[in-house]
Amino acid sequence: MVQRTVTIFTDDLTDTEGGDVATHTFSLDGVGYEIDLNPDSHQLLLDALAPFLKVGRKEGASSPRRSGSKRPDGPDPIKVRGWAKSQGIEVNARGRVPREVIEKYEAAH
| CATH number of the domain bearing residue 49 | 3.30.60.230
Residue 13's pLDDT is 95
14 or 92, greater pLDDT: 14
Is residue 49 over pLDDT 90? yes
Same-domain check for residues 13 and 50: yes
Is residue 36 over pLDDT 50? yes
Same-domain check for residues 50 and 82: no
Is residue 41 over pLDDT 50? yes
Instruction: Flag whether 61 is in a domain.
Output: no
Residue 65 amino acid letter? R
Provide the 3-class DSSP secondary structure of residue 100.
helix
Same-domain check for residues 52 and 82: no
Instruction: Flag whether 62 is in a domain.
Output: no
69 pLDDT tier (thresholds 50, 70, 90): very low
Instruction: Flag whether 29 is in a domain.
Output: yes
96 pLDDT tier (thresholds 50, 70, 90): confident
Residue 42 structural domain: 7-56
Domain count, the chain: 2
Rounded CA-CA distance 70/92 in Å is: 15
